């Protein structure tokens, strides 16, 4: 995996964030940093995404900021130009994967089936996003479809329907590098300025991930 994804994997959890206003970016970053979670996936589901990424890259470089929902080559270019250090997508698009590789940009395409995994393996993808993780069958499904590819060293960031109460069942899988989720910094938390709540949830999630990986849960 890339250095950026190695850092995310060391934390075990990546907050998936849809933020509507760039004006909230620094306060959001400070809440995550206060909670000991120096990583954020800013999704391209809002018009503010690129500006938010650029603001964070400039004002809070200690935060590992990435771009999510990268669905087009244009979005990929926008993410890189804004200063994103990694990117993810919900599905597999060979054009985007190859463009990211050509730019030496850390990118995790989405997979859900063995066919997706075959396509990823052909392009030497080492980290993929398993999405939608819960709806697609949960940890048992990921374990089943990834087993034939285990010798290739591919790892995953399951995202979609995961919460603090289900972290353990995912992080216990050796193939899971980290989990992604929206519960840490939801849209309404951000728009409502509930920075302490976000910091508290970040802190609990980091502690929970550490405890799970150390065998305590």
Q: What is the CATH number of the domain that holds 105?
A: 3.20.20.70
pLDDT of residue 1: 83
Q: Within a domain: residue 118?
A: no
- Tell me how many degrees the CA angle 133-135-139 measures, rounded to the nearest 5: 45
Q: Is 129 a catalytic residue?
A: yes
pLDDT of residue 217: 59
Q: Assign 154 a pLDDT band (cuts: 50, 70, 90).
A: very high
Question: What percentage of the chain reaches a pLDDT higher than 70?
Answer: 99
Task: Write down the pLDDT at residue 45.
Answer: 97
Output the six-digit token pair for 164: 């603090």
Across residues 171-184, what is the average pLDDT?
Answer: 97
Please give the tally of structural domains in the chain.
1
Catalytic residue at 74? no
Catalytic residue among 3, 20, 34, 41: 41
User: Does some domain include residue 124?
Assistant: no
Q: Which of 59, 129, 169, 211 is catalytic?
A: 129
Closest C-alpha among 175, 165, 139, 14 to residue 87: 14
Cβ atoms of residues 114 and 145 within 8 Å:
yes
Q: What is the mean pLDDT of residues 4-26?
A: 97
Q: Is 132 part of a structural domain of the chain?
A: no
Task: Identify any residues that bridge with 41 across adjacent strands, giving them in sequence order.
Answer: 16, 66
Mean pLDDT, to the nearest integer, of 71-90? 98
Determine the structural domain holding residue 54 and report its residue range.
Answer: 3-109+163-212
Instruction: For CA atoms 133, 109, 207, 200, give the dihedral sign.
Output: negative
């Amino acid at each position: 995996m890339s250095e950026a994804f190695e850092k995310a994997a060391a934390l075990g959890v990546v907050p998936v964030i849809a933020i509507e206003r760039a004006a909230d970016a620094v306060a959001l970053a400070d809440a995550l940093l206060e909670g000991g979670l120096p990583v954020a996936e800013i999704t391209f589901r809002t018009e503010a995404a690129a500006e938010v990424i650029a603001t964070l890259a400039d004002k809070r470089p200690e935060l590992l900021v990435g771009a999510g929902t990268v669905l087009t080559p244009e979005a990929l270019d926008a993410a890189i130009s804004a200063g994103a250090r990694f990117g993810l997508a919900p599905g597999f698009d060979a054009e985007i994967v190859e463009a990211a590789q050509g730019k030496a940009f850390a990118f995790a395409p989405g997979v859900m089936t063995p066919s997706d995994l075959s396509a990823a393996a052909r392009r030497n993808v080492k980290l993929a996003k398993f999405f939608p993780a819960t709806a697609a069958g949960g940890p048992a499904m990921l374990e089943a479809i990834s087993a034939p590819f285990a010798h290739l060293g591919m790892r995953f960031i399951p995202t979609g329907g995961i919460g603090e109460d289900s972290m353990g069942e995912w992080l216990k899988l050796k193939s899971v590098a980290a989990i992604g989720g929206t519960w840490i910094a939801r849209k309404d938390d951000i728009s409502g300025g509930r920075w302490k709540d976000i910091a508290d949830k970040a802190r609990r999630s980091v502690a929970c991930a550490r405890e799970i990986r150390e065998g305590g849960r």
